Amino acid sequence: MPVNPDAVGLTGDPTERAWSSKDCLLYALGVGAGMEDPTGAELEFTTENSIGITQRVLPTIAVVLPSGGPDMSQLGRVDLTKLLHGDQTITLHREIPVEGCIRSTSRVAALYDKGSAAVAVLEVHSVLVEDGQPLFTNTMSLFMRGEGGFGGERGPSAARNAAPDRAPDHAVTYTTRTDQALLYRLNGDRNPLHADPTFAAKGGFPKPILHGLCTYGFTGRALLHALCGSDPSRFRSMDARFTSPVMPGEALTVRIWDDDSGRALFQTVAGDGRVVLDGGLCTFD
């Protein structure tokens, strides 16, 4: 039995990760900050010494800071080649500092049996070591093809936060670069699927695909600027579902529906209209 049906509630060993101002600058550039107007509004994310500007951190860095990613050892023996990243949620308990050290603990929050596939929901809680208080929480669902049929609950439908059937209130377009993944991977995810055409071809892709979490980061930037006045302290949470791979070089348009409640729906579409991130919900102050 590859997947452990009794995994729910199990936690992994805590891991620690220190990060620096430079790590934050590199992350910001990796998700396109400074590309559109390098001399303007994003200098607080791309520089640490501009006159009158204090460096701040893009909230979505929460997805790369925990060391080594989620601990999946509690799930049993998982075939990584059959693993797909379904949803990703980040919840910011406070603004992320430009340097620090976190202690992160993974927990299996749920395990669902979808028939042929299993879906695991992992939560990673990160506290700032300095004061021991929560900094952010990542929640991700992992879709494991061929691992279902163990008799578990089917769980909720993946579809939620559907995009309204009306024009968005904001539409922010960013263009990714053809070499975007080569830069983004320096944040930690060195999977050659995102860089090596030979490896990508083995996986059935015509060329290397962009990291889903890079698309997520571009999207988070758009939400931060459109909804939070570019102020990371107002960014509370972001939830979205990966629905299609993105090729480096594609344009991404983040469509945002904001009813002034502090909860905005969003989806991200590629230049050809393909929805690449769907079911998006952003909460903010």
For the CA atoms of 213, 80, 248, 187, the dihedral, rounded to the nearest 10 degrees, stands at: 50
Closest distance to its own copies from the beta carbon of 211 (Å): 14
> Toward its own copies, which CB reaches closer, 42 or 87?
42
Contact segment (CB under 8 A) with its own copies among 36-44, 88-96, 122-130, 214-222 equals: 36-44
Contact in structure between 99 and 21 (CB atoms under 8 Å): yes
Q: Enumerate residues 6+ apart whose C-beta is below 8 A from 181.
A: 194, 195, 208, 209, 210, 211, 214, 248
Which of 8, 14, 15, 26 binds its own copies (CB under 8 A)? It is 26
**Sheet of 251-258, strands arranged across:** 15-19, 100-113, 118-128, 134-144, 83-92, 235-242, 275-284, 263-270, 251-258, 170-175
State how far Cα 100 lies from the chain centre.
Answer: 20
Active site residue 189: yes
Active site residue 93: no
Q: Which two tokens stand for residue 11?
A: 């936690």
Contact in structure between 270 and 251 (CB atoms under 8 Å): yes
> Toward its own copies, which CB reaches closer, 26 or 109?
26
> Toward its own copies, which CB reaches closer, 6 or 196?
196
Which of 181, 209, 224, 276 binds its own copies (CB under 8 A)? It is 181
- What three-state secondary structure class fits 283? strand
Regarding 43 and contact with its own copies (CB under 8 A), the answer is: yes
Helix/strand/coil (H/E/C) assignment for every residue in 2-23? CECCCCCCCECCCEEEEECHHH
In DSSP terms, 21 is beta-bridged to: none
> Toward its own copies, which CB reaches closer, 186 or 251?
186
Q: Which two tokens stand for residue 21?
A: 């101002």
Closest distance to its own copies from the beta carbon of 205 (Å): 11
Contact segment (CB under 8 A) with its own copies among 9-17, 50-58, 142-150, 159-167 equals: 50-58
Regarding 47 and contact with its own copies (CB under 8 A), the answer is: yes
Which of 179, 203, 262, 285 binds its own copies (CB under 8 A)? It is 179
Residue 76 DSSP code: B
Q: Scan residues 158-177 and list those touching its own copies (CB under 8 A).
A: 177
Q: State how far the alpha carbon of 69 is from the alpha carbons of 14, 118, 137, in Å.
A: 12, 20, 12
Regarding 193 and contact with its own copies (CB under 8 A), the answer is: no
> Toward its own copies, which CB reaches closer, 29 or 63?
29
Regarding 25 and contact with its own copies (CB under 8 A), the answer is: yes
Contact segment (CB under 8 A) with its own copies among 6-14, 32-40, 65-73, 123-131 equals: 32-40
Catalytic-role residue among 85, 169, 189, 231: 189
Q: Which of 27, 57, 53, 59 is closest to 187 using CA atoms?
A: 27
Regarding 208 and contact with its own copies (CB under 8 A), the answer is: yes
Q: What residue ranges bind its own copies (CB under 8 A)?
A: 22, 25-26, 29, 34-35, 38-40, 43, 46-53, 177-179, 181-183, 185-186, 190, 192, 195-199, 207-208, 248
Active site residues per annotation: 189, 194
